[in-house]
Each structure stands twice: as C-alpha cells, then as structure tokens.
C-alpha cells in the first residue's frame, strides 16, 4: 500500500470514528434535552417526542461503549497524523492535510 493510500485509509477510519462519536452524542443529547425541558432548566427548548426519547434510551451506550468510541477516535487522530508524515511531499497535492480534518476540536 502506498503512503498516500495508507493516509486515505487512516482518514476513512477517523471519519468512521467521528461518526460513531456523533451518533453517541445524538443519543445522549436527546435524553439531555428531554430532561432539561421536563425539569424546567430549558423552558424555551423543544422537548423531543416520546418515540425519539424511547429510541434514545433503548440505544443508550454503556460506559464501555463510550470509552471504546473515544479511544478509537483518539487512536484514529494519531494514525492520521502519523500516516501524513509518511506521505512524501510530492504526493501530498490533492490530499487534505490533517489540519483540514477536524482532529482535535470535535
């Protein structure tokens, strides 16, 4: 596998890890919004419908799932940066550098 291909594979892995974090955040966010509205903390907020809350509770991640997702994301960030360093400068044209891929500010 060429260094450029290895980099693209690392980016794809990072994007999958980021999507997993986003999915977990969405589940937690639904329950947080429902709780905030019901407890009067967010009076102007719109409460999610009951089906959405029920689905979120069904999909609620365990601590181990959250930890694994965060670890996979962190490892993917490192892999993107390491793979980039292996790509010769002449092959970098057309590739998004790590700085253009949100790797630390998700």
pLDDT of 104 strictly over 60: no
pLDDT of 81 strictly over 50: yes
Domain range annotation of the chain: 3-100
- Whole-model pTM? 0.79
Name the range with the highest mean pLDDT among 5-14, 23-32, 88-97: 5-14
Q: What is the mean pLDDT of residues 25-44?
A: 79
Q: For residues 16 and 38, which has the higher predicted lDDT (pLDDT)?
A: 16
48 touches 33 (CB < 8 A)? yes
Percentage of the residues of the chain whose pLDDT score is greater than 70: 91
pLDDT of 106 strictly over 50: no
Please classify residue 37 by burial: count the beta carbons closer than 10 Å to its beta carbon, then call 0-12 exposed, 13-18 middle and 19+ buried: middle
Report the distance separating Cα 92 and Cα 106, nearest Å: 24
Token reading at 95: 């590739």
């Amino acid at each position: 596998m060429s260094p450029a291909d290895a980099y693209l594979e690392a980016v794809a892995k990072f994007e999958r890890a980021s999507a997993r974090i986003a999915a977990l955040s969405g589940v937690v966010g639904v329950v947080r919004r429902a709780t905030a509205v019901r407890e009067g903390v967010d009076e102007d907020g719109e409460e999610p419908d009951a089906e959405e809350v029920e689905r979120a509770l069904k999909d609620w991640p365990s601590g181990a799932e959250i930890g694994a997702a965060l670890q996979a994301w962190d490892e993917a960030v490192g892999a993107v940066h390491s793979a980039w360093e292996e790509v010769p400068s002449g092959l970098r044209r057309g590739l998004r550098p790590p700085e253009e891929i949100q790797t630390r500010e998700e």
